[in-house]
Structure 1
Amino acid sequence: MQQNSVSSSYVAAEFKARQHREGHDFMAAAQSAGDAAAIAAAEGDSAAEWDMKFFQAENLMDAGEFDECADITFALVQGPSAALSPQFLAKGYVLLATARQRAGLLEQAVDSARTAADLSKDDPDIETNVKARHALIAALADCGMLEDAWDECNVLADIVSDEVDDQLVGKAYWAIGNVAFLCNMIEEGLRYHELAADTFSPANNLDVWAKFNKASAAMRLAADIADADTLRCIERAELATDVIGGSSNDYHLLKLNRAHWTLLAGDAATAIGLLDDLCRLEDGISPQRTGEACLLLGRAYIATGDKPAAKDVLLRAAEQFETAGAPQRADQAREYLASEA
C-alpha cells in the first residue's frame, strides 16, 4: 500500500483521538479517528487510513456502539485491506467478531472469529491467534454451543505460553473459565478464573480489571454461586466502573449482576424492580442480554408466585434468545415456562 509522509492536520486529528481515548471519551475519540482517516484518504495514505478506521471502530466498541463498529470493521476487511497481510486481516476479523457478538449477531460472530483464527494460525506471533480464539470461544458460548466452545478452549490452552503477554494470558484463562462454568465444571471454572485474576491488576489496567470482575461475577452467579467472593467481584466491578466510567452496556451488565445476586440472596421483590427496568430497555443492550434479564425476571416472578407475569417475560426471553441465534438458551427459557404450566 502507498504510504506518504503524514500532514500536520492528520497528526493533530490522530493526537486528539488518542487524547480522547486516554480520557475514556470513546465517542469523541471515534469522531477524531474518523477525521484522521478522512484526511489520510484525501492524502492517498491508505495505511494511515486503515489504522485510523480501525482505531475508530475500537472506540465505537468501547462506547457500546456495536452495530456501527461492526459496519466500519466489515467495510475494512472487505475493502482494499484484502491486500494486507493475513495478520492485519485477522485483527480486523477479531474486532468484527466481537462487535457482532455484542450486537447479538451470534452466528455471524462465530463465522468472523473462525476466519480470524484460520488467518492467524500460522503466524509466528501467536498474539492475534490467541485473540481470535478468545473471540471464537465467547461467540460459541453465547450461542450455547458449549461442546465446540470447550474444544476451542483446549486448543487455546495449548497455544498459550510464556511468549504471550500476561494480560493476554489472563484473558485466555478468563475465557476458558467462562466456558467451564457454563459446562457445569465449577471447580475448573474457579481454577481458571483464579489463574486469570493473578494476571490482572487495577494498577496496571483498571478497565480490564473491572471487566474481568464483572464477567467473573456473572459466571459465578450463572452457577448459583452467591458467596462472599462473588459479591466482592460485583463490588469491585461497580467501584472500578464508577472511577473510569463505562458505556451504557457496561452499566446494564453491572445491574444485571446485582439483580441476579439479589435474586439468589432471596430478595425476589427487589430483583424484580431491577430486572423490570432492564427488560424494558429498547437500546443499549444486546438481544441475548435482554434474554438473560427476562429469564431472571421470570424466575423472580415464579419465586413470588406470579405465574401470569412469569409466563409473559419467559416468552420474551425465548424470543430474544432466538433473535440472537442462541436456540439452546431459548429452550432453557421454555423449560422454565413448561415447569410453571
Structure 2
Amino acid sequence: MPIYESNPYQKLLLHNLKALGLDVQEGGSGVFSILRSVICNLGADAIHLHWLTPFLIGNSKIRTIAKSILTILQLIILQLLKIKIVWTVHNLKNHENRFTNIERFFSRIVAKRADAILAHSESAKRDIRNAFDVDDQEKIAIIPHGNYLGYYKNTLTKEESRSRLNLSPHNFTFLYFGKIRDYKGVQELIDSFIKLNKSDAKLIIAGKPNNNEISNSITYKARQNKNILLVLQLIPEDDIQLFMNAADVAVLPYRDVLTSGTLMLGMSFRKPIIAPRLGCIPDVLKNGGCFFYDPEDADGLFRAMKLSMTSKHHLQNMGDRNFILAQKNSWSLIARSIFKIYQNHLSDYTPSN
C-alpha cells in the first residue's frame, strides 16, 4: 500500500505473490488507511508500504506534520500488535519537492520502525542508508525492479508503428515516455534536441504532464521545431507499443532519480537507452546498452543524443542486450525473493498451498 490502479508494478507483484499462496489485500492512501487496512484484515501478519507521499505530505506545512505524526502513530500500533512492517523505497523524496525536510525527518522514523527495507539496486541501497540513517545494512535487501514482458501488447513492427504516427521510416527517432514532471528533465531534452539541428531526427514526447504549467512550457518549447511530436496525455496501455516500437532509442533525461519503471519498460521493448549516471540506472545497465552522460555536464545529454545518432549500427545489439537483462527480472522470481523476506520476519508463517 498504497495501491495505484494504473501502476502495473503493483498489479504484477500482487499477482505473483498470490500465486505463491499468500493472502494479499490492497490498501488505500487515506490518512488512516494503514490502521484501517489492519482492522479490515484481522490476523494480518505484515504490511508492505511502497510510496510514503500520500501518508506524509499534506497541502500545507501543518497538515504535513499532522499527517506524518498520524502515520508514525499507526506504525507504532502495528508494532504493538506484532505486525511486521516492510517498506519498498521507490524514491527518497516526493516528486514535487514539497516540505522535503519534514518528509525526510519522518521517513527516517519509518525506516527505523520498518522490519525490512527493499531497494531496487546496490546504489539505491547506499542512497537509502545515507538518506535515512539506516545503520543496520542487513535491514535493506536488494530486490530488482521487475520487467514488463508480456504485460503490454507488442505486435506492431517499427514500420507499422511509424506509419500510424506519420513518421518516416528513415527518421532517427528519440522517445521520451511517461508522466511528465519537473525533475524528469523534459525541457532540457527539448533544448538538446533542438541543438542537434538534424532534419532527419524526430523527438516523440508521450505522456501526461503533471500540471498546466509544465504542459504550457513544453508546448511553447516544442513549437520551435516541427520535428517534435507531442502526445501530452495518458497513453492507453494498448498504445504503448506504438511509441516504443517507433523509437530508435528511449531517453530518460532525469535530473534526479532513485529507481525507474520507465527504464525497465524500455528494456522490455528492446530499446537502447540514453540516461544520466544517476540512481539505479548504472547498476541496471552494466552491459553496454546505454549512452550514459554526466548529469552535471550541461551538454552531456546533447552529446549522448548526438553519439546515438552516429551509432546506428550498434542500436539493435544494445537493445537486445537490454532485453536479455530485462528477462532476468521476472516477477515470479521477485515475488519469491520478497516472500523469503516475509518468512525471515514471520518464522511461523507458511503459505496456504
TM-score when normalising by structure 2: 0.29
> Going by fraction, where is strand more abundant, 1 or 2?
2
Bigger relative CO (Cα 8 Å, ≥ 6 apart):
2
> Going by fraction, where is helix more abundant, 1 or 2?
1
TM-score when normalising by structure 1: 0.30
